[in-house]
Amino acid sequence: MKAQRTLPPTAAPIEWRDLLQGLLGLVRPSVTVDALKADFGRHFGVKHVWFVSSGKAALTIILRALHGLSGRRTVVMPGYTCFSVPSAVVRAGLSVRLCDVDPRTFNPDFSQLEKAADGDALCVLATHLLGIGVDVSRVRDLCRHHGVFVVEDVAQAFGGRLKERPFGTIGDAAFLSFGRGKNITCGSGGAILTNDDRIGEAIAREYAGLSEVSVAERLMNWLEVAVTQLLIHPSRYWFPAGLPFLRLGETKFYTDFPMARMDAVRAGLLRRWKERLSRSEASRVAHTAQMRRLLSEAPVQTIQPIEDAHSVYLRLPVLMRSKQEKESVCRLSLAQGLGVSAMYPSAIGQVAELSDTLANDPVPQSVLIAERLVTLPTHELVSDEDVKRICSTIIGHLRDPAAGPQSVSGRSQCCGAEVSSSS
């Protein structure tokens, strides 16, 4: 463990005012949740909004509701995504079919999607992974003829837009996540959106069966949020990052997650979401532009987002040339506290717990993404100097892989711009 400036790979800072709003939720519970519902309804222009305990819980409820309407059981989802997504599908009692991901755009492989979204499929998950826009209208066109629903996974993409329509309003239903490390957070939480009355009624029935979170649990979550805020700052993050038992950033497949309504303390923590979201979005978009410019001539592949999408880049994805290169960049980042990290340890097809249930859907591009992807931090706690240091370290390493962390310090030429890699 080394006490040095250490960037978390992702962070959604909150202020003492937000913590206070969270506590106020204890004394006026229904006002807090109802106010948030009305606020989200107006912002997204949708008729139906619910707040629940997590994104996983939100997806499980949507899937149960859709299954109740159509009776079908197969959920088509990206071959590379968060393990929570298949966890929710299994929790809803349904089965997974994979569709490959185009590594240039992070959109689905549309030719494979056309085959997968047949008359057997319940729904397709259109996932705006890392805040990068998926062409949901095109997904809808493919699904419409087969009576297949489209569910937008906006867990990592709150604030993004497609042709000026917010992500989450183009499919039949959508969910958001307010988990740690998302665009904005309340510790853990999720929201469900739909404009469709029939789907809305089915979701309302599922929601009615959810329990409330106990007061002790509300306070525990509040405390965790407060402690996280304290430790997430780059001047202190070296401490939790050096404690392996915290398992920070670990991705797990598990189906026994809580299914509950969102409580008023969490809703209070989200009360100033608009200011926080616009601040978060501004820094993510600006850092991404700066990093893309600095890395433009490096031998790596950065994302080419689809036209018409305003992507919000929860982190910036960069594909290395090999698995070895990815691993060495991650090791270097760990040693220097750069916040550059891999995402999920494997494609969904390689999740051991799914081996009995998954059909043999080949998703080679998803496997390639899992092997080569590193993500660069874009959040508000990243400074301009950090951006330069991250890019020059990656470029220096790719030029001279044998060199250890020390040899990339100093100054290096980066794409015509002189970049300081010292902190």
What is the radius of gyration, based on Cα positions, of the chain?
A: 21
Task: Report the relative pairing of strands 121-127 and 161-162 from DSSP bridges.
Answer: unpaired
8-state DSSP, 102: -
**Centroid of chain to Cα 44:** 19
Q: Which is nearer to ligand PLP, 49 or 155 (CB)?
A: 155
- Give the CB-nearest residue to ligand PLP: 55
DSSP 291-319: HHHHTTTSSSEE--PPTTEE---SEEEEE
Distance set, CA 346 to CA 82, 88, 97, 308, 343 (Å)? 10, 18, 16, 30, 9
The torsion defined by the Cα of 209, 42, 17 and 246, in degrees rounded to 10, comes to: 50
Q: Which range in 14-22, 23-31, 49-57, 133-141 contacts ligand PLP by CB under 6 A? A: 49-57
In the region spanning residues 50 to 109, those forming contacts with ligand PLP, defined by CB under 6 A, are 54-56, 81-82, 84-85
Select the residue interacting with ligand PLP from 6, 107, 112, 127 (CB under 6 A): 127
Tell whether residue 190 is a contact of ligand PLP (CB under 6 A).
yes
Least Å distance, CB 161 to ligand PLP, is: 18
Measured CA to CA, the distance from residue 74 to residue 357 in angstroms comes to: 11
**Token pair for 23:** 């506590």
Q: Which is nearer to ligand PLP, 153 or 386 (CB)?
A: 153
Q: Which range in 4-12, 24-32, 149-157, 266-274 contacts ligand PLP by CB under 6 A? A: 149-157
Q: Which range in 114-122, 153-161, 213-221, 305-313 contacts ligand PLP by CB under 6 A? A: 153-161
Select the residue interacting with ligand PLP from 112, 177, 194, 366 (CB under 6 A): 177
For ligand PLP (CB under 6 A), the number of binding residues is 16
Measured CA to CA, the distance from residue 48 to residue 15 in angstroms comes to: 29
The CA-based angle 247-253-257, given to 5 degrees, is: 90
Q: Which is nearer to ligand PLP, 158 or 386 (CB)?
A: 158
Single-letter amino acid code for the residue at 312: V
Tell whether residue 393 is a contact of ligand PLP (CB under 6 A).
no
Q: Which is nearer to ligand PLP, 183 or 288 (CB)?
A: 183
Site residues for ligand PLP per CB under 6 A: 54-56, 81-82, 84-85, 127, 129, 153, 155-156, 177, 179, 188, 190
